[in-house]
Amino acid sequence: MLAKRHPQGTSAWVARIAPRRLGMALIFIILGLGFAGHGCHSQKNGASPSIEFTHIPPAAQGGKEKLDTISGRAMNARPKQQIVIYAHSGQWWMQPDPPETPFVAIKEDSTWSTQTHLGFEYAALLVDPDYHPPPTMDVAPTQGGSIALVTIVKGEGTPQLAPTGSLKFSGYDWDVRMTDSVKGGMNNLYDAENAWTDASGALHMQIKKKSDRWSCAEIFLNRSLGYGTYSVTVRDTSHLEPAANFSMFTFDDSASEEHFRELDVEVSGPGDAANQDSARYVKQPLYMAGNLFAFAAPPGTLTYVL
């Protein structure tokens, strides 16, 4: 696989190969996870509620492999109100994973505590019993409706990025993902050994079983190449398994309010014989009308352009 670009602005190409589930495209990158539970407390004298943190986890890129404790106090909460925790790493992530309860109890002494995956920032929400927290948010949660209060704090210490491998491909330096992430509703493991270049300079990516565990591959540019036209030449995708998905996409980590300016080209293996569309162009958000164009990717070498 070969890549080239014609620069002019703020996004970078990424290539990866990873499983998919129930036809869902695996188009997300970088995880940050948080945790929450269930509870109630009483408001006194009509005073305004407040949240303070007594223990804040480190500022770090999130992932399922690391947990810490986050705790604090919720003063002047109303009966049956609860705490919900989000951690910010790329998106804002609620924990724990379903089917666990997403609510943290407020004790009689106003304290609360729970486990959380790591992030660069942490948000504690004081919510009413009818609140239904979304699993992820592109932008920071705000007060309103069933959310009585939001308090956000930065993680402790110097921000720590997840470890990565490295390789050179098509004249650029790329980082290779080594930490797991949730794609298409399932957890995917990554191994730096699953991405390499051969003597001709072509990039190879694979899904591999090792010690009874399947791992995927993902690489991403370690700097922005700017706005412009990006092209990726792929030798052949017709041999992909039905459960595999190959994605090439742009992603701007600083533009969460604009769905990270994500554009995708996604190719999967043959599935339902009645549906020959094995590839699609996507502009996030995927669910908006006109943001998806599906097509049949023929066998052989193809060049995809965004």
Tell me the pairing of strands 58-60 and 156-160. parallel
Q: Are 81 and 41 in contact (CB under 8 A)?
A: yes
Q: Are 217 and 207 in contact (CB under 8 A)?
A: yes
What tokens appear for 63 in the block?
Answer: 């992932």
121 membership: H or E segment, kind and range? strand 121-127
User: How far is Cα of residue 153 from the mean position of the Cα atoms in its chain?
Assistant: 20
Q: Are 163 and 190 in contact (CB under 8 A)?
A: no
Report pTM.
0.62
Locate the domains of the chain by residue range. 2-29+180-305, 50-160
Express each pLDDT in 69-120 by its tens digit. Answer: 999 999 999 999 999 999 998 889 997 765 568 899 999 999 999 999 999 9
Side-chain-side CA neighbours of 164 within 13 Å: the count stands at 19
* C-alpha separations of 274 from 105, 244, 296 in Å: 50, 19, 12
State percent of the chain over pLDDT 90: 56
Q: Are 121 and 88 in contact (CB under 8 A)?
A: yes
Of 29, 26, 38, the residue nearest 62 (C-alpha): 29
User: Is pLDDT larger for residue 270 or for residue 298?
Assistant: 298
Side-chain-side CA neighbours of 50 within 13 Å: the count stands at 5
What tokens appear for 3 in the block?
Answer: 């890549």
Query: Is 50-160 a CATH 1.10.1740 domain?
Result: no
Range in 36-50, 52-66, 216-230, 245-259 the model is least confident about:
36-50
List b or e across 129-143, with b for residues whose CB sees 16 or more CB atoms inside 10 angstroms: eebebebbbbeebee
171 Rama sector, left if φ>0, alpha if ψ -120 to 50, beta otherwise:
left
Express each pLDDT in 194-236 by its tens digit. Answer: 999 999 999 999 999 988 889 999 999 989 898 899 999 999 9
What tokens appear for 142 in the block?
Answer: 């705000």
Q: Using CA of residue 224, residue 230, residue 233, residue 238, what is the dihedral sign? A: positive
